[in-house]
Copies of this chain bind each other. A is one copy, B any other.
Amino acid sequence: MKRIDVLDGQGWVVLEDSYGDDLAIVNAARQSFSKRSATMGPAESGLIHFLMRNRHGTPFEMVDFRFNIKAPIFVAREWQRHRIASYNEMSGRYVELEEEFYLPPLAAVREASGKPGAYQFETMDGETAALVRERMRRDYEGSWITYQSLLELGVAKEVARMVLPVGIMTQFTFKTNLRSLFNFISLRSAPNALLEIREYAGAIEELARDVAPIAFKAFESSNRVAP
């Protein structure tokens, strides 16, 4: 199991397991022609590029991945809008959450200009950034104290957690096929995607690329548009 830490070590992406590879994509496509390849060669590589270019997406569904993700809730919320995938997530109804809140590194404390959908972001000056972080930290701490005090009063975990911020860390299993993963990477590594989810998309890409390297080359050649 390979793991990549993200968000300054506060989150991670683990590739737990996968099956299928470039050759499985080729042979799924060759199914249409009643043919099969035993190994990858120039013709097989060319076929994968052809499939990507012409948006023949189904053969890319033949590769499948299971990841374990640790991320803030506000990242998990965007992530789980991707419907062609399977998820299982830690539940604040069943477990007491841990005191782990995402605090953006100084360089990630940013201001926005421009219109929604076309924001420009810039890192804030160091002093303001430090102040922002300090206020966030203190607010997180306050919410944590409230959460603990509510649990001590005996209230159900599912009620107490209502005060916890969307910056708290959660953990979930994410299983999906390569076609859907290309769509995830395409949208979530784009320049206008949320900074934090872009780091996850980058880690996902790095781990998945090893499984199907030619498919990722074809993805690059097609301007990173999912087939």
| Interface: A6 (CB within 8 A) | no
Set of chain B residues within 8 Å of A17, measured between Cβ atoms: 19-20, 24
| Interface: A158 (CB within 8 A) | yes
| Interface: A215 (CB within 8 A) | no
Contact of A162 among B19, B159, B165, B172 (CB under 8 A): B165
**A165-198 at interface with B (beta carbon < 8 Å):** 165-167, 171-173, 175, 177, 186-187, 194
Q: How far is it, in angstroms, between the C-alpha of A73 and the C-alpha of B72 when the chains are bound?
A: 14
| Interface: A161 (CB within 8 A) | yes
Say whether A150 contacts B165, CB under 8 Å.
no
Which DSSP category, helix, strand, loop or mixed, fits chain A's interface? mixed
Say whether B88 contacts A24, CB under 8 Å.
no
| Interface: A9 (CB within 8 A) | no
| Interface: A37 (CB within 8 A) | no
Residue ID in chain B nearest A116 by CB atoms: B94
Say whether B155 contacts A109, CB under 8 Å.
yes
- A151 CB, min distance to chain B CBs, angstroms: 10
Set of chain B residues within 8 Å of A88, measured between Cβ atoms: 28-29, 31-32, 58-59, 62
Set of chain B residues within 8 Å of A104, measured between Cβ atoms: 159, 162
| Interface: A61 (CB within 8 A) | yes
Set of chain B residues within 8 Å of A132, measured between Cβ atoms: 150, 153, 155, 159
19 residue pairs A–B, Cβ–Cβ below 8 Å: A19-B19, A31-B89, A31-B90, A31-B171, A33-B90, A34-B90, A64-B64, A73-B166, A74-B92, A83-B84, A139-B163, A143-B165, A161-B166, A162-B166, A162-B167, A163-B165, A163-B167, A165-B165, A165-B166
